[in-house]
Amino acid sequence: MLQLIVVFFGPYYIFGMTLSPEYRMIAVIIAFSINYAAYFAEIFRGGIESIPKGQYEAAQVLGYSKIETFFIIILPQVIKIVLPSITNEVITLVKDTSLSFVLAIPEMFTVAKQIAAADASISALLVAGGFYYVFNVLVAVIMARLEKRLSYYD
């Protein structure tokens, strides 16, 4: 939430730039992109560091260049290693989209709260929760299939 606020209000307070209403959505996209890029970079860094040095040495003995070593030998192994963490982060991203209400972006949960308040019923909130659940299950199923497809043991 703090990152959303900084990305949206920062240009005005730091550079004196005037902000258009369209910038709200751009700020949300920028903030989420920067935030999750950092998480994904750390996940991939850990995955790359988990590859044994012997893999690099074997590639060198076989005459692979550093680029070939990375893309042909290292990256396929890293993807198998980091896929569960990537799945967790994508599910978290789906849930974090509700934070965009901070910048007055009407997202599903905020609209559901407004409908629930107007109708004095929680049915809209249950429907919104159902959508979040379906989106997360969809991500989990797709990633599970991908993990199974990339599995060493099939």
60-119 pLDDT, tens per residue?
999 999 999 999 999 999 999 999 999 999 999 888 888 887 777 777 778 888 888 888
14 pLDDT band (50/70/90 cuts)? confident
Triad 149, 153, 154: Cα angle to 5°? 50
Q: pLDDT value at position 153?
A: 67
Q: How many domains, in total, are found in the chain?
A: 1
Compute the mean pLDDT over every residue in the chain, rounded to the nearest whole number. 89
Torsion 36-38-41-46 (CA) sign: negative
| The token pair that represents 145 in the structure block | 């299939």
| The token pair that represents 65 in the structure block | 């260049």
Q: pLDDT value at position 123?
A: 87
Gap between the Cα atoms of 126 and 39, Å rounded: 30
Evaluate whether residue 92 is within a structural domain. yes
Higher pLDDT, 2 or 110: 2
Ramachandran area for residue 61 (φ above 0: left; ψ -120 to 50: alpha; else beta): alpha
Residues 109 and 98: beta-carbon distance below 8 Å: yes
Domain around 79 = 2-149
CATH at residue 55: 1.10.3720.10
Q: What is the pTM of this model?
A: 0.79
